[in-house]
Amino acid sequence: MREDPKGASDRVVLAGSWRELDDLLFEGAWNPDVRRFRSRNAFRGVSRRGLDLRTGVVRLGGNVAAKERHLVRNFRKYARRSFVGDDSIWNWLSLAQHHGLPTRLLDWSYSPYVALHFATANHGARDLDAEVWMVNFPEVNRDLPAPLVKLLEDEGSDVFTGEMLSTVAGGLGQLERLSPEPFALFLEPPALSERIVNQAALFSLMSQGMARFDEWLADRPGAWRRIIVPAGLKPEVRDRLDQVNISERVLLPGLDGLSQWLARYYREAEPPQT
């Protein structure tokens, strides 16, 4: 990932304090049309500054298109009994991503605090700066093909569901053929589990499997921002999130999440670096 894509240095901002971080994450959230604070951004937290937005299937290497077909076909074959909802490729991809299969989807959240959790929960990265990506729905949707723009306008929505997307593109090939140029969209998964609900989860999706979201965004500096969380600020952010109940216990429901939360919560504080 280029640190300063196309001269967009104002899009990468270092937060100097919790208050500044909180203000940056909610900047522009006021919607005068409804007179409510309703952010139109997606958020993604990563524990190390500068990580790119390559998808799981791209990280596998090789012939991505062929691997993607095999992965999805076999997942659908063996996971049939676990599937709930509309039998669309988009819901299948959501289920697969949710359970760790490498796909062309990337995990995002409607919640900036959920993103902050994933930026600060990794103890192994405690000495590294973290970051939160903010991506604006309307700016991303400007480049959608006309049929998808109309679909969002008719629904009064910023993001797609699997059922919505299926009315225009029933498969990955049909989606790609909507435009010769790659485009991005956001997909809201069905409520497959408490984890998806509690994380206010959604996914980004590129129309072409090899396309990278960060490289696509680099040409659209008005669509994104990266908020840097310096390593020295992480302990305070982490304690504040725990205090407001943003933790593994809630975001990863079940005994595994509970155990992760307890182990992290009772870890001895690190001595200040000199």
Q: What is the CA radius of gyration of the chain?
A: 19
**Average pLDDT for 38-47:** 96
For residue 85, what pLDDT is reported?
A: 63
**Does residue 242 have a pLDDT over 70?**
yes
192 vs 91 pLDDT, higher one: 91
CA–CA separation, 88 and 269 (whole Å): 47
**Average pLDDT for 234-252:** 95
Residue (of 119, 106, 137) closest to 220 by Cα position: 137
Instruction: Report the SS3 class of residue 194.
Output: helix
For residue 117, what pLDDT is reported?
A: 97
Which segment of 56-65, 75-84, 86-95 scores lowest on mean pLDDT? 75-84
Percent of the chain's residues with pLDDT above 70: 93
For residue 269, what pLDDT is reported?
A: 74
For residue 6, what pLDDT is reported?
A: 43
Confidence at 273, pLDDT banded by 50, 70, 90: low
CA–CA separation, 60 and 68 (whole Å): 10
Instruction: Report the SS3 class of residue 225.
Output: strand
Q: How many C-alpha atoms does 137 have within 13 Å on its Cβ side?
A: 24
Q: What are the phi and psi torsion angles at 257 (to 5°)?
A: -65, -40
Domain boundaries, the chain: 5-265
**Does residue 7 have a pLDDT over 50?**
no
Burial label, 88 (beta-carbon count in 10 A; 0-12, 13-18, 19+): buried
Q: How far is CA 127 from CA 47, 72, 230, 237, in A?
A: 10, 38, 9, 14
Confidence at 191, pLDDT banded by 50, 70, 90: confident
pTM: 0.91
Q: How far is CA 63 from CA 42, 46, 78, 105, 239, in A?
A: 30, 27, 23, 17, 44
Q: How far is CA 163 from CA 89, 92, 155, 170, in A?
A: 10, 11, 12, 9
Residue (of 110, 137, 136, 108) closest to 46 by Cα position: 108
**Does residue 73 have a pLDDT over 80?**
yes
For residue 83, what pLDDT is reported?
A: 66
For residue 93, what pLDDT is reported?
A: 92
